[in-house]
Structure 1
Amino acid sequence: MSPSRASRRYFDPRFEATIITVAPGEHEITAAKDEIVATVLGSCVSVCMRDPQLGIGGLNHFLLPRSNGNHDAGAGERYGDTAMEVLINDLLKRGAKRNHFEAKVFGGARVLSGATMLAIGDNNVAFVTEFLNREGIPVVSKDVGGNRSRRIHYQPSTGRAWVQHVQPTARDSDQEQEIAYLNRLKTQPVAGEVEIFS
């Protein structure tokens, strides 16, 4: 396990599980019964996908729907089209069966100001809805849209998901991180059931 991965794992007594945090443009897969993958979303979208028969699954976190032909090695999972393929392929490599897949979809809020920014969440939701429909992967639950950020916790072994809606503030750190991430993308070349908790 790399040091960066190790630094993103911690034990949470509320869940009695190890939490693995997923940053924008990344994904994580696990089959361990005592592991939960987690992320924080604004206009980004996460798809939680699993093979319920094997209890293996994962979560991705993408910022924009399509790469539009950008195939830089580092561009990867920040785009929905790539993030979805990587998640599916990694699940298949771990033994999951495509015809068993089920998905839960989260995010796509309107948390950023400006007409272009407002459309990002809507575009992400539209993209992933169309993608999953085209691939024949059923969406068993979703919590998308709105104007609040979300904290997502997903336990692939059981398929259980927890969503916490975060009250918007004038300048919350999640929104600032998302704006900074969007700005980096523009300027840097890149080498079942849902439980609401508070």
Structure 2
Amino acid sequence: MNYQKIEHISAGQFKVGKEQSSIYKAYLGTCLGIALYDASTQVGGMIHILLPEPTGIASAVFSEKYASTGVPLLINHLIKLGAKPENLEATIAGGALIGPVTQQDINLDIGGRSMDIAVSILRSYKIKTIKSETGGFFTCTLELNMATGKTFINPALEDTFKSQNRFTAPSMDEILNTIDQLKPIPQIALKIFRMFQFSRHHITDITEELSKDQVLSGQTLKLCNSALFAGTVKIDTLKEAVLLLGETMLIKSVITAAVDMYYNQIGTSGYSLCKGGLFFHAVGVASFAEKIAEKSGRPLLKEAYTAGLLHDIGKVILDQFVSIRSPLFFRSLYQKNENFINAEKKLLGITHGEAGALLARKWNFSDGLSEVIQLHHTPEKAKKNKDLVYIIYLSDLLMEKFHVGFDLEKMQTQSLENALDQLGFKMADLPELVDVIPINTFSNDDDILTTQR
């Protein structure tokens, strides 16, 4: 059996290669994906475009994020590897309107404008487009086989759901027992989290507590050396982490490492699309929520990051039932026009927000954080901390639309205008918000193997 390495091309990134045997793959929603290949030289590449064009001077630093600057960048890199524009063939996918769709989505037409710009640039280089499936209302994957040049566009959630035995919703006792049986976030991490949340800490207290848990200490140092927090300087001790990263960043890495350990109890047949998908999504939402809070002028940076990390903790509980009793159920929802939360409630008798709130109370989280966990899909219901709930809703929604590929959510968009208004934004500010979605949170190091087509 032959295997090929799959290299995931995340939003705002591109990759090129020559005479390679791997498969480049991008999960696409509103974003646009373009694969280019020169069969005569076996040179190819793929770009995952986030926006039509830069929204400001600073954003031009990441030119691969935009159709106007990223497509020429991709072509020039391919030419440097020996490709000839007249021999390149293009496959284009994505640019969808991920439902439910509002008139504002249609008016902004981010994916459509990215498509128009990309096609114009390809034509200027006289590059032939051999396959194009854009627009519509579905997420898809774009694949480029670097060994053959063949490309594939498939529904991201292709329905492999087969007939199942009748699903029996778990009782509340079963859910509570599952909460008790799951490996919890370490008590030391929860203590550090509360110290951080309420600003009742000194860095020596944090490092002393952390040193009591060797596993968590090791995971924290590993994360400190990742691209998310540092990635350039080797950090071997907690003391070095404090000196090189600073107090706040170290504490964030502790909390993130602990959440990773908790989310690791979820599989790939229920809520998550890939191993670690729920954690990847949580870190993305956390990082993005922090940026939204900063742009809105709300003094909620600490709260936004931790709330983003923890907003989906209820999925870990419910996944224990879904993955065993009705695997791929939520993937099948994408074949239907069904509200995610309503379907979850119908199937399980409880939503992941409600299950997460039970866990939040058990772990003595603040009322405000518990409210975020419970209501991040229905922010209008929030009473105690509306700003934070709306920040997490907005971050979650935009991550789902523009950073497809990690978990299953299907967020409702009816609250988008209210969220923007609550946080002091306008619909016209949406591209600028999309522009600060974290694109360097994850690298392509965690590649997987797949059977060769």
Letter of the 2:131 partner, please give it.
S
Contact 1:62 1:83 in 2 (8 A): yes
For 2:144 and 2:48, the matched residues in 1 are separated by 13
Match of 2:379 in 1: none
Match of 1:115 in 2: 103
More helix by share: 2
For 2:17 and 2:340, the matched residues in 1 are separated by 34
Choose from 145, 152, 166 the match for 2:135. Answer: 145
> Deviations 1:155-184 (Å, cap 9, x if unpaired)?
133121122213536469x96524476674
For 2:340 and 2:37, the matched residues in 1 are separated by 34
Alpha-carbon shift at residue 82 of structure 1 (Å): 1.3
Match of 1:185 in 2: 434
Alpha-carbon shift at residue 31 of structure 1 (Å): 2.4
- TM-score when scaled to structure 2? 0.35
Letter of the 2:156 partner, please give it.
V
Contact 1:111 1:175 in 2 (8 A): no
Choose from 146, 166, 176 the match for 1:156. Answer: 146
Structure of greater relative contact order (alpha carbons < 8 Å, 6+ residues apart)? 1
> Deviations 1:35-56 (Å, cap 9, x if unpaired)?
1101100011111011110011
Contact 2:33 2:92 in 1 (8 A): yes
Secondary structure class of the residue paired with 2:61: coil
Match of 2:14 in 1: 27
Deviates more, 1:53-62 or 1:73-82: 73-82
Match of 1:195 in 2: none
More strand by share: 1
Alpha-carbon shift at residue 26 of structure 1 (Å): 0.5
Secondary structure class of the residue paired with 1:163: strand
Match of 1:106 in 2: 93
CA, structure 1 residues 170+162, in 2 after alignment: closer, same or farther (shift >3 Å)?
farther
For 1:77 and 1:171, the matched residues in 2 are separated by 33
- Structure 1 segments unaligned to the other structure (5+ residues): 1-12, 191-198
Secondary structure class of the residue paired with 1:151: strand
For 2:152 and 2:21, the matched residues in 1 are separated by 15
Deviates more, 1:128-137 or 1:35-44: 128-137
Contact 1:16 1:34 in 2 (8 A): no
- TM-score when scaled to structure 1? 0.75
Match of 1:90 in 2: 77
Secondary structure class of the residue paired with 2:54: coil
For 1:161 and 1:180, the matched residues in 2 are separated by 22
Secondary structure class of the residue paired with 2:98: coil
Q: RMSD of aligned C-alpha atoms?
A: 3.0
- Structure 2 segments unaligned to the other structure (5+ residues): 158-333, 342-395, 404-430, 440-453
For 2:397 and 2:130, the matched residues in 1 are separated by 28
Match of 2:23 in 1: 36
Contact 1:103 1:138 in 2 (8 A): yes
Alpha-carbon shift at residue 73 of structure 1 (Å): 5.2
Alpha-carbon shift at residue 71 of structure 1 (Å): 5.7
- Write out aligned runs for 1:26-65 (5 A): 26-65=13-52
